[in-house]
Amino acid sequence: MSDDLDYDSPVPLFQQLADLLRAQIDAGVITVRVPAELTLTQRYGVSRGTAHRAVMILVADGYARISRGKGTFVIPADQR
Amino acid sequence: MSDDLDYDSPVPLFQQLADLLRAQIDAGVITVRVPAELTLTQRYGVSRGTAHRAVMILVADGYARISRGKGTFVIPADQR
DNA sequence: AGTGATTTGTGCGTATGTATG
DNA sequence: CCATACATACGCACAAATCAC
């Protein structure tokens, strides 16, 4: 699993990051908490807007649930 | 009421989106909050710039009021 | 009870690249 | 060549919910 993003790819960064996080969830690398947007910002070298958009894709896909002020949490596979 | 945008139309996307949102306000589909720019981005498949420009048209028409950091809110018909 | 830190929600301004006419 | 429209992306500021102390 590639752990960084390709700035030259035609695929948008926010989509790449969403795909990456989803793969990590599927692989059991991320189990409970999705890293905070600020963490994603630092870990993957993207802006917060890009991180936020990626996380929203996870939510739309049923992979995560956001709780404002608390964080973003993985939805177990048997609940989606 | 058509709920999506026509990419082949000569009418710019931001104008189509503004018309759509205004129609939804008139129809009472949108009553209090105008969806966030990021939400519009995902729902209608447009960029944030396009969403923002559409919302600004609503503001210019007296249909909405923007509060930075909070959101965009519908102005009731009897107040415009 | 209160204050500051953390985290997400939302909007603003700007830059860059692509496509179209 | 130039203007317009659009998408992506960055960085920022402010708002609000929650948490830690």
Q: How far is CA B42 from CA B19, B51, B78, in A?
A: 18, 10, 31
Is the C-beta atom of B80 closer than 7 angstroms to strand D?
Answer: no
**Reported pTM:** 0.91
Give tens-digit pLDDT for A59-80: 999 999 999 999 999 999 999 8
Q: In this structure, which amino acid lies at residue A75?
A: I
Supply the pLDDT for residue B3. Answer: 76
In angstroms, the separation between the Cα of residue A12 and the nearest Cα of chain B is 12
**Which residues in chain A have their CB less than 8 angstroms from residue B38's CB?**
52-53, 56
Is the C-beta atom of B55 closer than 7 angstroms to strand D?
Answer: no
Where residue A4 falls among pLDDT bands split at 50, 70, 90? confident
Contact A25, A63 (CB under 8 A): yes
Give tens-digit pLDDT for A18-35: 999 999 999 999 999 999
Give tens-digit pLDDT for A32-62: 999 999 999 999 999 999 999 999 999 999 9
Q: Give the CA-to-C1' distance from B40 to C6 in angstroms.
A: 28
Give tens-digit pLDDT for B27-80: 999 999 999 999 999 999 999 999 999 999 999 999 999 999 999 999 999 998
Quick one: A6 exposed, middle or buried, by C-beta within 10 A (0-12, 13-18, 19+)? exposed
In angstroms, the separation between the Cα of residue B38 and the nearest Cα of chain A is 8
B8 has pLDDT over 90: no
Q: Give the CA-to-C1' distance from A11 to C18 in angstroms.
A: 14
